[in-house]
A = this chain, B = another copy of it.
C-alpha cells in the first residue's frame, strides 16, 4: 500500500515504514549530525525507494523560508522584448534551480501603483528576496524594500543606493569607451540616443559620453542628446530626428542594441550608409547583434553571467550576509564589428575631414549629403 509508487508518500508514512519517528527521518534527510550514519543511510535509501519528496509548501510554512525569489516585470513591454532579459532570467534560474529555489515572475498588477507587484510579494511573504532591474536614479522600489526589510539585489545602481546589494555594469565606462571609439575614428558630431532620463544606466552612460567628449575638448551639443520612449519605433524616430538636423551627427552612441536597430533603419531610410555616412554603436551584445547588417559594433556585458551572479548575491544576502558586501561593478568591453567607421568616409560632410579634437572651437562644416 505505502509502496505503491503512484501514491504519494509523506514524512509520516516514510517514518512508519522505517519504524522511526518523523523527527529522526526529517533530521536524517536534512543532514543533521545527531543521526547515526547507519540510520541516515537506511532512511535515504528508503526515501529514494519510495520516491519521497518533501512537500515544498509545508516545509516553507514551517521554516518560514519560501525558497523562492521574485522578479517583477515592468509595465513597459518593450523592456522585456529585449533578448538580454531572457538571458538574465536564464542565468538566474540556472543557479536558483541548483539550490532548489524557485524564481517567480510577477507583474506590477493593475492600478497605477508602481510598487504594486512588490507589495504583493512582500506582504504575502511569497518570496525570500527580490531582484530588481532597470533601476532609476531615484528608485522608490529600493526605498520600499529597504524599509520592508526584504532582501534584494538590483541589477543597476541608483542614487539612493545605500547599503543594498547590487550588480551593475560600469555604465559610465560603457558610454565612455563607445564615445572614445568614435572619437578615435575622428568623429566630432557624435549623438547620444538614450533612454528616458530617469534611468540610472542612461544617466551614467550619458555621463561617460559627456566625459569623453569633454576630454577631447568638445562641447556637448544638446541637440545631439536624445531620449526615446524605449520602444524600437521610439529609437527610429529619434534617430531620424537627429539625422535631419542642420548639422547631423556622423555617429550615434545607442543606449542598447535594440535602439541601435532602430537607428540603423533610420540611417538607411534617410538614404545613408551605416558605418560609412553614420557610425552606430550599440550596447549589450544581444545574440542578433553579430548577425545584423552590418554586424553591430557594441559594448558587451554578459547578461547570463550577470543573472547568475545576481542570484548568488541575493542568496547570500538572504542567508544573512551583509548586503553592503555585495556591490559589484563589471567592466564592459567594446566589441568592434562593422557598424562604425572613420568619419572621413561620411558623405554628410563632403567638404572634408571633420576638425580634429585639438581644434574644437573651429566651426563645423555645414551641408548634408
Binding site for B on A (CB under 8 A): 51, 53-58, 60-61, 66, 68, 73, 77-78, 80-83, 85-87, 89-90, 93-94, 97-98, 100, 102-107, 109-110, 117, 120, 123-126, 231-233, 236, 258, 261-262, 264-265, 268, 286-288, 290-293, 295, 304
Contact = CB atoms under 8 A, between A and B. Distances in A.
Contacts of A58: 61
A60, A68, A100, A288: which has the most chain B beta carbons within 10 Å? A288
B232 A291 contact: yes
B90 A287 contact: no
Given A102-B126, A304-B77, A258 B288 contact: yes
9 contacts: A53-B124, A56-B66, A57-B57, A60-B60, A73-B89, A80-B87, A81-B83, A97-B109, A102-B104
Tell me how many chains of this kind the complex includes: 2
Contacts of A85: 86
B86 A90 contact: no
A90 B80 contact: yes
Give the secondary structure class of A's interface. helix
B86 A124 contact: no
A237 to B, nearest CB: 11
Given A80-B86, A97-B120, 10 more contacts: A55-B61, A56-B124, A56-B126, A81-B287, A85-B86, A97-B117, A100-B120, A103-B106, A105-B105, A232-B290
A110 B100 CA distance: 12
A262 B102 CA distance: 34
A287 B100 CA distance: 34
Contacts of A124: 53-56
A57 B103 CA distance: 15
B93 A97 contact: no
B78 A93 contact: no
A91 to B, nearest CB: 10
B288 A261 contact: yes
A51 B122 CA distance: 12
Contact of A291 (B60, B262, B291): B262
Nearest to A119: B53
A286 B81 contact: yes
A109 B68 CA distance: 16
B78 A107 contact: no
A83 B103 CA distance: 19
A73 B55 contact: no
